[in-house]
Amino acid sequence: MRRGVVAALATASLLLSAACSTGGEGSSAGPGAPSPTTAAPGSGSPSPSASADLPPAKGAAKVVSTLTEELKSPWGLTPLPGGDLLVASRDEGTIHRIDGESGKKTLLGTVPGVSPAGEGGLLGLAVSSTFGADELVYAYFTTTSDNRIVRMQYDERRPAGQQLGAPDTILRGIPKGSIHNGGRIAFGPDKMLYAGTGEIGDTGLAQDKESLAGKILRMTPDGEPVHGNPEADSVVYSYGHRNVQGLAWDARKRLWAAEFGQNTWDELNLIKPGGNYGWPEVEGEEGEDGFIDPVAQWKTSEASPSGIAYAEGSIWMAGLRGERLWRIPLSGDSAGEPLADPQSFLDEKHGRLRTVVSAGSDRLWLVTSNTDGRGTPKAGDDRILLVEVE
């Protein structure tokens, strides 16, 4: 199946423009660029899915409404209990609350210490799994010295612009760069915090287990290593990644991650604790001993993936350079083999697509990314779109 997917995608890619720019997200690394089936811990062993529970081989996706417009360099997005959303501005270092019905924007505040440059700035957002009790908002951002994860108390009773408490740093020392800062954070089914990082263009860091760069990290809500991590004293969960910006769990509580390739293959991976995903020794599917191959791969011109989400039996992946939303139907196969070839939607209709999160049932929130310095903004950009899928 996988070879068929690769062949079909490689053939399709020949019909697309392969224009290259500098070696950051949404582009290949041109001259001058810096040179499994495992359930979430504690989730138990999932039983095989019945065929009646599988998604159809072919799906659908359509934008049913625009929730809000005129966002500036939006990056992280996280739902609040009750249906509203929090969205981060990468370059302005601000967080806004978006009313889930009207789209009205309310400024929570500016996150102190954010130092935007290149692909760095205020990136991923998450709310605690006990938000109703503690009202904690987590953020991943770039400072003058590193990338770090903080948490802040949110008090909506305070005036707009003054609703965020002082940042409490739970993890510091993630290497920073002008490119490949990773940045996605999310709480898993085990109520632990996961983070995707990049290798900042220093490719050797991805294979260095002592570095937090080019990794998926797993930690407690306080930023400490979790019992059951590959190394008891380390937050490193998997390694050999180039630039992870997509994290999501399926109905079996398996962790999936999307990451940028360099010149050839972008990847969707099923994550195993302690797994080595190959970068920079391999890119895409190579079948080499010691490295875990991706479940699916795309030419960089077709994807350059950022956020991913799970809905209706499929992984949905937002593409930056590819300017499309990919659907990867899951088969329930223990190795993560897709049920059918990935299928794209919304091709070049809304520009670059940064973040996608579940809106419940058969709907997704989708964030465009045309004001990030690499897109071509249109009137009203950037937007949060509501997408109906099957």
Listed in sequence order, the residues at least 6 apart from 56 whose beta carbon sits closer than 8 Å to its beta carbon are 329, 390
Listed in sequence order, the residues at least 6 apart from 379 whose beta carbon sits closer than 8 Å to its beta carbon are none
CA 165 to chain centre: 26
CA 113 to chain centre: 23
Sign for the CA dihedral angle at 292, 297, 299, 300 comes to: negative
For residue 178, count other CB atoms closer than 10 A to its CB: 15
Q: Write the secondary structure of 183-209 as one string of H (helix), E (strand) and C (coil).
A: CCEEECCCCCEEEECECCCCHHHHHCC
d(C-alpha 378, C-alpha 357), whole Å:
23
DSSP 8-class letter at 65? E
Q: Which pTM was predicted?
A: 0.89
Backbone angles phi, psi at 235, to 5 degrees: -85, 0
Q: What integer pLDDT is reported at residue 25 of this predicted model?
A: 77
d(C-alpha 179, C-alpha 200), whole Å:
5
Q: Is the CB of residue 141 less than 8 Å from the CB of residue 147?
A: yes
Among 168, 226, 227, CA closest to 193 = 226
| DSSP reduced 3-state for 52 | helix
Q: What integer pLDDT is reported at residue 53 of this predicted model?
A: 82
Query: Which segments of 280-320 are extended strands (E)?
Result: 296-299, 305-311, 314-319
d(C-alpha 381, C-alpha 390), whole Å:
26
Tens of pLDDT, residue by residue, the chain (390 residues): 443 443 343 333 333 333 333 346 765 343 333 333 344 443 333 334 445 589 999 999 999 999 999 999 999 999 999 999 999 999 999 999 999 999 999 999 999 999 999 999 999 999 999 999 999 999 999 999 999 999 999 999 999 999 999 999 999 999 999 999 999 999 999 999 999 999 999 999 999 999 999 999 999 999 999 999 999 999 999 999 999 999 999 999 999 999 999 989 999 999 999 999 999 999 999 999 999 999 999 999 999 999 999 999 999 999 999 999 999 999 988 889 999 999 999 999 999 999 999 999 999 999 999 999 999 999 999 999 999 999
End-to-end CA distance of the chain, in Å?
22
Q: What integer pLDDT is reported at residue 227 of this predicted model?
A: 92
Amino acid at 165: G
Q: Is 227 exposed, middle or buried (0-12, 13-18, 19+ CB in 10 A)?
A: exposed
d(C-alpha 325, C-alpha 345), whole Å:
5
Q: What integer pLDDT is reported at residue 162 of this predicted model?
A: 98
Q: What integer pLDDT is reported at residue 27 of this predicted model?
A: 52
Among 167, 177, 118, 105, CA closest to 145 = 177
Listed in sequence order, the residues at least 6 apart from 52 whose beta carbon sits closer than 8 Å to its beta carbon are none
Among 325, 323, 324, CA closest to 315 = 325
DSSP 8-class letter at 87? E
For residue 222, count other CB atoms closer than 10 A to its CB: 10
d(C-alpha 154, C-alpha 345), whole Å:
36
Q: What integer pLDDT is reported at residue 334 of this predicted model?
A: 87
Q: Pull the structure tokens for residue 2.
A: 């996988």
Q: Is the CB of residue 366 less than 8 Å from the CB of residue 325?
A: yes
Q: Pull the structure tokens for residue 34.
A: 């810096």
Q: What integer pLDDT is reported at residue 126 of this predicted model?
A: 98
